[in-house]
Every structure is written in structure tokens, then in C-alpha cells.
Structure 1
């Protein structure tokens, strides 16, 4: 299927992340600022950290008409929910990400010379910010979030949180090579 034919099959975007660019009139140099509050739906993030579902996210962007399309720059900020990668405790936070994305006009040189997944597209004078926000979010969020920078995690023996176990927490370990002797003669290495 040719790129030109696939452009005809593109679905008109809809939803809270969609921006109408008709005000720009495809005249390079014109710009418009958009500020809106979007409630998150679905999965925006990584396994251990994400934008909090059902929470309000602040979107503040500038849409600039350029020769090849609409350049979007701005920020998206909102609350996050996470699970600590060391101790597994749930915690909340905030994230602000920068978004920069070119949305190519149909039949522009950029539209004709790039694959469908390389550059976002303007469809029926509308742009859908959701994929660009998701992509920016994935690179901005830590892949191993921590509840605190000095989180000590869990004891590998009993699974207790080091923060709750105290500094004297230990487990008696025995070299497996001595286990047979202990069974035969009893006691521990320190007693013998």
C-alpha cells in the first residue's frame, strides 16, 4: 500500500489530547498557545512508575506552523504513582516532561519522505498529543524508581525491609560444607 493511499485510511483523532490547528491556517510563522487540563486514562508509564490514573495533568504547549507541518513544544506535568524498586513500597510524586514533536502536513515533503511511524501527522487539521506525551514520558521517568535516595531495600534472607529491621539484624548462616559435621556432632561452629 502506498503512503498516499495509507494517508486516506488514517483515523481522525479525537479525545482530550487532540488539538485543532485550523487557527494556524498552515501559514508558517503563526503560533498559538494551548493550556488545558486532561484527566489521564489508561496506562501512561512504565511497570513501576506512571502518571496516576484518573488524575489531572496540566498540558501547556505552543503550536507553531512551519513549512512542513506543526511544531509542538511545551510541557506536561502531573502526579505519579510508583513502587520502589528496592523495598517495593508504594509512593507518589510529581513529574514534568518536555514535549517537542513535529506533526507533518499531509502531502508535505516530510509526509512523503518518512515512514508512518517516524513522524507524527496532522489529520484533518487535528493533532493527537497522546503518543508524543507517552513517548516523552517513557524517556523521562526513572526505570528504577526509589521511595528515597537512601532506601536500603529488603533483606535477601527474610524479605523484611532493612529500614524496619534495625542495624543488628542478622541471619545465622553456615558454610554448607560444615552442615554434615554439625548434624553429626551438634552445635554451631562458634560453640566447637
Structure 2
């Protein structure tokens, strides 16, 4: 059974060894696998749109692109689901010969953008996603969402090591 052709693979045949030539391509497909792990990721099967500009150079193909995807995950404060658009830009040189290559090469007149897109998307994912910037999170004692109970104030928890000093505070208020 032949290996499946990667949806990230783009033909560069018409740009090979033609410095100054430029082509634009657009790729749209469902993510073949999840990008990223942890609190934020791009889910497997979610739509990816990749706008590419391929430029022929003397030593390779310069690929510049923008990835549009949907970030999924869980708010690290209140554990609600998080879903929002993610836009990431990247630029990478695919060298013609492996000797000139820093990281990527042109293979069989094609460039495979998968590792470049994966790296760009994963590095752009937030380490600690929140549902909104002012999310108050969960009550540490009850575990209830503080946003659902706006009138409820967090209780002050006294460190038992300072409890002996509480008597001084009471004595001060009595003398006033």
C-alpha cells in the first residue's frame, strides 16, 4: 500500500532554479493530527487554511506563509472550554541540495511544509489559555466558578502561623 501524500506538500517544479519567480498557493484541509499538547492545541480534523508564497532563489525556494486555524483547549483558571481563531506567520528556506540545507530541502520538486507549519503553530499556542482576560477562576474552597457567583467574595484564609498575632489586632481595636 503506497504512503499517503501529505496535504502539506506543495509542488515547486515551476520555480526550480528560476531566481526571481514567485507563485502563490492556498491550501485548505482538515488537520490530519492534533497540533500541540497541553492546555491549548489545534484539534485533529479542525480546518487549516494556509496561504503560501513560494519564491525561487539561487540556492532554493523561499516559502512564506500564514496559517489560519482554530485554537481549542481549556481555561486554566475556570476549566471552561476555550475556542478562538489562531493566525500564525512563518518563513523558511528549502534548499535545493542537502549540503546547502540548514533544516529543509526540496524533495522531488516539492516542498513539505508540515514541519514548518507544525513548529509555527505549536510555538504560537498560549501556554496558559484563559476564556477571558479577567477570568476570576474557581473558588479554592468550594471549587465553584467565581464568575457565576459575582456577589461571593473570596474568604480570607489565615495562615495558622500568624494566628497568635490575631490577639494583638483585637486588643488594638478595643483600645480605639
TM-score by length of 1: 0.74
- Is 1:133 matched up with 2:101? no
- Please list every run of at least 4 consecutive aligned residues from structure 1 whose deviation after the TM superposition is greater than 6 angstroms: none
Q: For residue 48 of structure 1, what is the aligned residue in structure 2?
A: 39
Could you tell me which runs of 5 or more consecutive residues in structure 2 were left unpaired when the two chains were aligned. Answer: 164-169, 171-176
1:164 aligned to which of 122, 144, 148: 148
Cα distance 1:124–1:46, how it changes in 2: closer, same or farther (>3 A)? Answer: same
Q: For residue 22 of structure 2, what is the aligned residue in structure 1?
A: 31
Contact 2:146 2:152 in 1 (8 A): no
Could you tell me which runs of 5 or more consecutive residues in structure 1 were left unpaired when the two chains were aligned. Answer: 1-11, 180-188
1:168 Cα deviation (Å)?
2.7
1:142 Cα deviation (Å)?
1.4
Structure 1 counterpart SS, 2:142: coil
Contact 1:63 1:73 in 2 (8 A): yes
TM-score by length of 2: 0.81
1:86 aligned to which of 69, 72, 77: 77
1:154 aligned to which of 117, 126, 138: 138
- Is 1:101 matched up with 2:101? no
RMSD between aligned residues:
2.5
Contact 1:106 1:123 in 2 (8 A): no
Contact 1:60 1:75 in 2 (8 A): yes
Aligned pairs for 1:4-15 within 5 A: 14-15=5-6
